Structure 1
Amino acid sequence: MVWFRPVGFTGRRPSFQKQAMLRRAASDEFETYHDLYSVASSVSRVGDRFEATVIGRRAAGLFLFDRQVVGVVHQREGSRARRDGLEHLNLQVLRSGRMLAGAPGNERLLAAGDVVLFDTTLPQRTVLHDADFVTVALSREVVEAVVPNLRSLHGAVLSRKACPGLGVAVLSLARGASGSADAPLGGSALIAGLIADGMDRSGRYVTDRDRDEEEIQAARRLRASLFIDAHLGRHDLDVGLVATGSGVSRSALYRAFDPVGGVKGEIVRRRVARLRSAILRGDRLTPIATLAWNLGFSSASHGSRTFMAAYGVPPAQFRDAMLRPEDSAVGDLKAEHMRGWVEVLNAKSSRV
């Protein structure tokens, strides 16, 4: 079910004008997710498993969607892009997991911290095998004020190393790290400025690695990440075990994961994403400490600190805010509500 939440549902985020939540969509509720995103893209399933949780926030000049999604393809076809009149910019930032994104036929596997830029006037495709990520939708007017050649950036994937501040800024907004009323008002201008900062004088992004080498490293990360995902509950999960299990040498693993925060960082990111997913499944009876231990955290406090660092709120408080009966819906978020938000973002009068 999808819920409207009052402003600042954790008591720490008063600056966003409106928040909404798709608590959890299970396999038999795929149509709920499909209808929600039909305003801008065609949505289909991939693989045998589907799961989705969405927390959305609306503020002046931007929308932010914090999502964990398994088994979904989003595709925006050229015919749709030509006829529906949308023209805003989408940024997708991967926290952890497996996600491919780009122009159709040129999708790339993202690493943790990577950012992909999409111009909604052009076709795009995103494949979410098992991804914990954040999408920010920005007014075209705001971005073009500092990046006039916006269309040329469509489908560009910016690594954390090549453009370090951009992904950090988006994830910080998602965590609600700033309770200031200036956060949503200045957020879109900040992100637009960071996009411009990553460009050279010719208006192109400077790549920090050869494409062939990048693809080799991406393949190694994928092999290792699949092993990590399958063994998160092991308390002896470390670089040595991942190297042995994935068939990639320690030295190669260190090189592959160095741009994205290391192998240990990837293990932690996947554990905390799985912890949030477990909480959002609505299990009220299992203690947070048990959930954290079962996912390989050394202690409840370790799990709580890591969760707080990733999502801006302790896991117990997060579960309480998400599951309390007294915080039930103010109203269901339906496709027409999403359409209204998008129309506001694309209005010529949009100002930040």
Structure 2
Amino acid sequence: MSHVQSPTQPHMRFDSSAIAAHEALDYWRGSLSQSWEMSVPDQAAASDFHADVSVWRMADLMVGAARFGPVQTRMRRERNIQSDQLDHYRIILLHDGVFRCDAAGRQVSLTPGRFVISDMALPESSELACNSAVLYVPRDKLDQALPQPMRLHGLSPDGACAHLLADHLFALLRSLPEAAPEELPSLAAATVGLVAASLAPTAIDPQTTGVAIDGSILRRARKHVEDELMDCEFGAQQLCAALRISRSTLYRLFEPFGGVAQYIKERRLARVHQILSQTTERQSIARLAEDHGFKSSAHFSKAFRAQFGYSPREVERPDALPALPGHRTSGERFDQLLGSLYQ
């Protein structure tokens, strides 16, 4: 899995071989910190940390390859989900090494040539020391390509189409750096189609069909909330009217999130966090709070600290992790490239 850099596409390259292992580990952990809590369980092995990562934007998808060692753990918690707002599916395809994950009770241990899909809106834990390919797909793109709603978190299909998808991803990594920009939308569409084809034959447990349908309604509700975060009057009544569902259904769907009002408040806080973390320009925190429905700066600051554990002025900005001297890197940092998926 060798790669050629292309300066014409949004990309990121990180190669730790030119710097000290502990510096590389700290830098990479910081680059992941918004989306995952990362650790090396055996601290003695931390001195052996190495990483070689290449990631490209492909229209509204993101595709890449990575080598990591030694074994590291990653936890995606509610705090991370609230912070990065990634409403995407992620596919990990194992080339060699170890990749194990627990996706809300679905436990998967990959073998070479197999992949697992995870829902970025749900918690997940993983252990990995591997050579792998990764693909991020917007939720709406894949959901529209599937024949019916499916619970995809932790799914690891093993059919002919799944094998074709594996071959496609490895071939894509070889050819993508040389692809012309006008080819990217077609490549992205073909890739989503193969992902959907590999998942469609998967047997669906009838007991989870209702869960999948509820998940589809919930995703529509969450998207509508995102669109209305700056409407100070927006609440459960407006959401029921937009989705044409009863209050009892709405409250049941949002019960795991602490209720509708709590969810909307957390999303408003996350939106402000996103704005603060993705710009180097000084922002008026009082104005951001007012624009997102908070009646006072004091109320906003208290809620912000309760959700994230630090004040709005302590949010890490894009330039908070300086370039490390001598390391092999190009393009954006991984967190910046992930952030571009919002656009």
TM-score range, shorter chain: 0.5 to 0.7
How much is the aligned-residue C-alpha RMSD, in angstroms? Answer: 3.2
The CA deviation at 1:154 is 1.0
CA contact (8 A) 1:144 1:150 kept: yes
Q: Which residues of 2 match residues 1-352 of structure 1 at below 5 A?
A: 10=4, 17-24=9-16, 27-29=21-23, 30-47=25-42, 48-49=44-45, 50-70=49-69, 71-82=71-82, 84-128=84-128, 130-147=129-146, 152-159=151-158, 163-176=162-175, 179-181=178-180, 183-200=183-200, 205-206=202-203, 333-334=332-333, 338-347=334-343
Identity of aligned residues (%): 19
Query: What is the rounded CA distance, in whole Å, between the counterparts of 1:123 and 1:77 in structure 2?
Result: 5
- Distance in 2 between residues matched to 1:329 and 1:198, nearest whole Å: 34
Scaled by the length of structure 1, what TM-score is found?
A: 0.52
Could you tell me how far apart the structure 1 residues matched to 2:150 and 2:80 are? 17
Partner AA of 1:88 in structure 2 = H
Relative to 1, partners in 2 of residues 1:180 and 1:55: Cα closer, same or farther, differing over 3 Å?
closer
Letter in 1 for 2:12: A
- Residues 136-185 of structure 1 show CA distances to partners (whole Å, capped at 9, x for unaligned) of 11222321221276661111112365621111111111122784425532
Give 1:187 shift.
Answer: 2.8
- Per the TM alignment, residue 66 of structure 1 is displaced from its structure 2 partner at its CA by 0.9
> Following the alignment from structure 1 to structure 2, what is the Cα–Cα distance between the partners of residues 20 and 345?
14
Q: Contact 2:61 / 2:136 at 8 angstroms: preserved in 1?
A: yes
Deviations 1:218-270 (A, max 9, x none): xxxxxxxxxxxxxxxxxxxxxxxxxxxxxxxxxxxxxxxxxxxxxxxxxxxxx
For residues 52 and 112 of structure 2, the distance between their equivalents in structure 1, rounded to whole angstroms, comes to 19
**Is the Cα–Cα contact under 8 Å of residues 15 and 179 in structure 1 kept in the other structure?**
no
Which structure has the greater CA radius of gyration? 2
> Structure 1: how far apart are the matches of 2:160 and 2:11?
31
Is the Cα contact below 8 Å between 2:96 and 2:131 reproduced in 1?
A: yes
Q: What secondary structure sits across from 1:157 in the alignment? A: coil
Query: Judging changes above 3 Å, is the alpha-carbon distance between structure 1 residues 110 and 32 closer, same or farther for their aligned structure 2 residues?
Result: same
Q: Which residue of 2 aligns with 1:262?
A: none
22 and 149 in structure 1: CA distance in 2 versus 1, 3 angstrom threshold = farther
Cα gap change, 1:328 to 1:69, in 2 (>3 Å)? closer
Whichever residue aligns with residue 61 of structure 1, its letter is: D
C-alpha separation in 2, matches of 1:121 and 1:151? 14
Pair 199,23 (structure 1): closer, same or farther in 2 beyond 3 Å? closer
* C-alpha spacing 1:138/1:118, structure 2 compared with 1 (3 Å): same
Change (3 A) 1:183 1:171: farther
CA contact (8 A) 1:139 1:346 kept: no
1:122, distance to aligned residue in structure 2 (A): 0.7
2:170 aligned partner, one-letter code = L
- In structure 1, what is the Cα distance between the partners aligned to 2:109 and 2:31? 25
Q: 1:42 to 1:173 in 2, by over 3 A?
A: same
Task: Kindly provide the CA deviation profile for residues 184-224 of structure 1, in whole angstroms up to 9, marking residues without a partner as x.
Answer: 32232222211221344xxx6149xxxxxxxxxxxxxxxxx
Partners of 1:87 and 1:140 within 8 A in 2: yes
Secondary structure at 2:16's aligned position in 1? strand
The DSSP-based 3-state class of the residue aligned with 2:113 is: coil
Q: Which blocks of at least 5 consecutive residues in structure 2 are unaligned?
A: 205-325
User: Is contact 2:53-2:66 (8 Å) kept?
Assistant: yes
Q: Give 3-state SS (helix, strand or coil) of 1:154's partner.
A: coil
